[in-house]
Structure 1
């Protein structure tokens, strides 16, 4: 070994000379080492290979498989097992089909394969999947397959050949199992993979041979022939019959339906054995045998509350329930109670469990277990309408301040034409199911084209209310109002009307019928409501009168995503001329909830300053076609209406507005934006009206 010690040089010239010699020696050593390696490598190549297999010192792990790599999507190959893949690869050049497990051993093929592997690993392939030969109702089979398919769920991502082949094998098995579960027990599936090199794409095709559909030759339900259950006719209720397909999904659904029907008929503790299904491949048929133990018919006992936080008490639950002790047991009434408790918004979770009464035979108590929900809510809304301007509302609610179900709300309104504050109390299920008792106090300032009013209102209302969870066909309400208002009549101000103070007492009532299928987005059915409010105005002049209004709307589906909707409204004030009434109690026409295309209150008689005078009767009509495209929709519409000074609407001089609406459908209802314009527009009228709100126009 050589050691170099750092020399000490007296001059820089000597140091430079030393560095040159050192570089020369290093280069010589490098050339010599390279030549030696080149010389000994051929010698190693000529040496004969060892005949003995290499050994592994760690015998216990010599055959251990390698771990799977995360997200590779392909299992490590078993080197002791030959490839038995059955998919076929079609050559893009000559269309010949070759088995995918044939080996290509030529040097050119190996080189091409290496090149392809490099390209494939960098880019991968896009692919398309098609299925041919599906049984009838192909779209249903296709939808079911898509829900199981790995190829479908990853179709937007590139994949290499190994990953694609693995997915093909899995999906072939899934498709075969799906067909067999649907009654095609002889079904087979073949797959074919066709690469399109120039497009860097692969076409995958599944060819289905469904075979014959297996049908039930015999169905037997044991245990429904007891003496105390012949009237039930459950043998007839069971939805599967002879000659029906041996469909596993239908069998599961039938079991659930039978169990539900047993609960409906008064047997909450019925036991159903797993159905025994036997398939005969010779006759292409099947048989089903199931044993049922119904137990004894039960009656309702007590409601037992097991609540965390006591959001509700037992007495109130008995008021909500539509059953009482001694009523024959019915699981439908249990579901009804569950929905009613959810509607209170006082619980976050609820469980209702039938439990046999240990002291009374054939009596079932209902144990209600709940978790209390957060009781405070802060809400806000923002809206805009022509003639109404921008308006924002905010509210704070305690949903159970006065137990039970006594919700107290404080609210505020701020807008370009509306300002105000209010407080309300709403008591749900008051004294009986679906009865709402509410009271409110509000102070508001309202500016409209027709009037400017500062109003304080005290009101009470008792009603049967409909809601999204439990939509009702019949609703009604009765109530009372006491109103103190200072109002400026803009329409008659030019004639000396000016400011007036009003004290008004009213007894409003309403009756409504609703057969539509959805509160916020109806697609079929009708709605009809009639409103009447006897009122008397005091202070500077005593004026008795009755405000009446009838609304009707209908909805007719024209296709899968097309609905034709129409609306009619008629209103009349009986007993007094409109000029003797407070401006806020008159009728007005125009705006987003009336005739779109016009500003709020813009239709009807106007003074010389184009300010509305209001009227004693009105007539409005609307028709629109609702087209839906996924979460979006378009709604062309035509509205018509007019305001009259007579007691009854004259149906003359109808003003027309038309336009187009945009809908965005959410889980709770559609968001609405309508753009309208008046037909035969008059001087001073806006060209475009914009209306934004939640829900359809009607």
Structure 2
């Protein structure tokens, strides 16, 4: 079979072939020749060869694939598309099975060539020396197999590379250019660029999304003309678009929410009828509803037609999650110590979306605390967290946290109780603020002795988040800022104010988010404090360890007293940068650089900054990446270690 001369395709063929190639490449090839469920079972058999059902009338063959010209990417594309190649260790059944396999390679290799921008290719496949569609092919194969494996040859002349030529986006009704639309650059169809078939497929979605985002819910592509001009080696593309009417949102109808109070979902829609239609509003609504822990899934369907007022009805279908859950987590760090935590929770405690979580954890410091050398290295924490949504308005949540704990660090050991009562108000899907009352009482031991440390304050927290994923963001920014005036802060009494903020930013360099650069900057200060030692040690600032400057021991990049013991600071500064690179769909590497320090002064003076660098391994799971980081200090002091290892779920920031 050959592809040559000036050839015009019908409107769908090149794109369908590309879609077939993508689909087939994602499916194990042997599923086409054998039982599918048997193929799945093969994943769990350590010796699949011994378990395979023998093929009846097996027809072994030898294969030679020759790609004339082209780079390694083109050759790999042809080889990976070939059924003959991927299944060569699985002989087909009889002459008919081998012929079917050879014939399927024409379409598969053609699709792969279209995907590489090659539309003038010639493909020659021979089985036992003749074409697989020859009238006497079965007799020839039967004779050849008696002498041994049947010789099969694939010769591909990919032809010249094609580039995009004339690109037109037309109104489907008038066949005239639309007054507005996405740029050719946004479509990926710029004239002179490689005419890969997948770019045309992607452009279709971009065109439809462009009009939907401008209030046309029924925008669609009604047709396309894709013409390869072999004289000029250009691919000319015409897309026919039906924009449909401009619409506004109509009524929202909710189903499946019987496990929540009446109108609970409706009150949180926040899109009044008459609001201009926007698919982004629906995406954000779905994301917001999924933050309600009692909800397992949210499906949003758009109506098939507008109502009498020109509004689009929307249907929301929700399903409940199991209300109760249990689990455990663990963390290991060679510098911060290790911990294991067990928890129980309820996602709909009183039937109004209330959540309760109880945690019990034990920890091991992993060394001898510098400030309290004789201290027991084991710690514990018994904690409860309760959230009541919609206490005043649907945007206001009541938060109550309380814990009994024993914490062991290099700078101090404390035992006591902590509690927080707060109200969180959500302004929109990205911005929220929380105001609360902070209380802490207990016993603290540090280099100066043992004493009670009462703390009461009014923390005000601001949260701004435009990222796309909580555990593995690839774009956007994340800002957390806190201002907490204290009514009582140990020997400092009333008046001190704690200021703290952290800003993270993320940028993906490609659509598949395989290369991401991430950065973080954080700083804080205790203002209005007479002396460092007037501040309870647990409320001072510390830097060093897995959550700040990796490679240094926990809290070690902090001020020390005359005896070299860590005492903490009144301010701090931290900065980190990471390059997150996915090697495969599940494995990634992350080179990183950290810097930072705590300071004895009220504001950072940037003296004695610590620096570190390292490499991380990521294993990507459905719930988030598993992180393993190895870091070394770049300017260690005499009390610093030589490296740090950190294991946890989620990115470092």
TM-score, normalised via structure 2 length: 0.69
- Residue 321 (structure 2) aligns with: 373
User: Which of structures 1 and 2 has the bigger CA Rg?
Assistant: 1
Q: 1:511-553: CA deviations, max 9, x gaps?
A: 4556666554456666554432211326877343111224345
In the TM superposition, 1:65-464 aligns within 5 A as 124=60, 127=63, 129-132=65-68, 139=73, 143=77, 149-154=82-87, 157=90, 162=95, 166-176=100-110, 188-191=122-125, 204-208=153-157, 221-223=171-173, 233=179, 263-266=212-215, 268=217, 275=223, 292=242, 294=244, 297-307=246-256, 310-312=258-260, 315-345=263-293, 346-348=295-297, 350-354=299-303, 360-386=308-334, 388-416=336-364, 417-427=378-388, 436-463=397-424
Which structure 1 segments of 5+ residues have no match? 1-69, 75-119
CA–CA distance in structure 1, aligned partners of residues 228 and 589 of structure 2: 54
CA–CA distance in structure 1, aligned partners of residues 542 and 287 of structure 2: 40
1:622 offset after TM fit, Å? Answer: 4.0
1:316 offset after TM fit, Å? Answer: 3.1
Q: Does 1:499 align with 2:451?
A: yes
CA–CA distance in structure 1, aligned partners of residues 508 and 206 of structure 2: 30
Q: Does 1:647 align with 2:605?
A: no
1:601 offset after TM fit, Å? Answer: 2.0
RMSD between aligned alpha carbons?
5.0
Q: Mark the CA change 1:556 to 1:257 in structure 2 (over 3 Å): closer, same or farther.
A: closer
Between 481-490 and 276-285, the greater mean CA deviation after superposition: 276-285
- Residue 662 (structure 1) aligns with: 617
3-state SS in 1 of match to 2:275:
coil
Contact 1:592 1:691 in 2 (8 A): yes
CA–CA distance in structure 1, aligned partners of residues 533 and 339 of structure 2: 29
Q: 1:669-695: CA deviations, max 9, x gaps?
A: 332223344456555544443322223
- Residue 674 (structure 1) aligns with: 629
Candidates 551, 554, 564, aligned match of 1:597: 551
Candidates 523, 527, 537, aligned match of 1:574: 527
Q: 1:423-461: CA deviations, max 9, x gaps?
A: 222245776777654222222221223222223222134
1:275 offset after TM fit, Å? Answer: 3.0
Contact 1:224 1:234 in 2 (8 A): no
3-state SS in 2 of match to 1:665:
strand
1:408 offset after TM fit, Å? Answer: 1.9
Candidates 463, 470, 485, aligned match of 2:441: 485
Q: How many residues align?
A: 561
Between 611-620 and 248-257, the greater mean CA deviation after superposition: 248-257
Q: 1:321-354: CA deviations, max 9, x gaps?
A: 2421223444443343333333434033524232
3-state SS in 1 of match to 2:437:
strand
Which structure 2 segments of 5+ residues have no match? 1-29, 35-55, 130-148, 365-377
1:356 offset after TM fit, Å? Answer: 5.5
CA–CA distance in structure 1, aligned partners of residues 31 and 196 of structure 2: 35
Q: Mark the CA change 1:501 to 1:369 in structure 2 (over 3 Å): closer, same or farther.
A: closer
Q: Mark the CA change 1:191 to 1:429 in structure 2 (over 3 Å): closer, same or farther.
A: farther
Contact 1:126 1:156 in 2 (8 A): no
3-state SS in 1 of match to 2:303:
strand
Q: Mark the CA change 1:460 to 1:209 in structure 2 (over 3 Å): closer, same or farther.
A: same
Greater relative CO, 1 or 2 (CA 8 Å, sep 6+): 2
CA–CA distance in structure 1, aligned partners of residues 216 and 624 of structure 2: 38
Contact 2:58 2:92 in 1 (8 A): no
CA–CA distance in structure 2, aligned partners of residues 129 and 442 of structure 1: 68
Q: Mark the CA change 1:262 to 1:512 in structure 2 (over 3 Å): closer, same or farther.
A: closer
Q: Mark the CA change 1:301 to 1:641 in structure 2 (over 3 Å): closer, same or farther.
A: closer
CA–CA distance in structure 1, aligned partners of residues 179 and 414 of structure 2: 67
CA–CA distance in structure 2, aligned partners of residues 409 and 152 of structure 1: 54
CA–CA distance in structure 1, aligned partners of residues 252 and 314 of structure 2: 5
Contact 2:618 2:628 in 1 (8 A): yes
CA–CA distance in structure 2, aligned partners of residues 676 and 279 of structure 1: 55
- Residue 548 (structure 1) aligns with: 499
Q: 1:86-114: CA deviations, max 9, x gaps?
A: xxxxxxxxxxxxxxxxxxxxxxxxxxxxx
CA–CA distance in structure 2, aligned partners of residues 280 and 156 of structure 1: 37
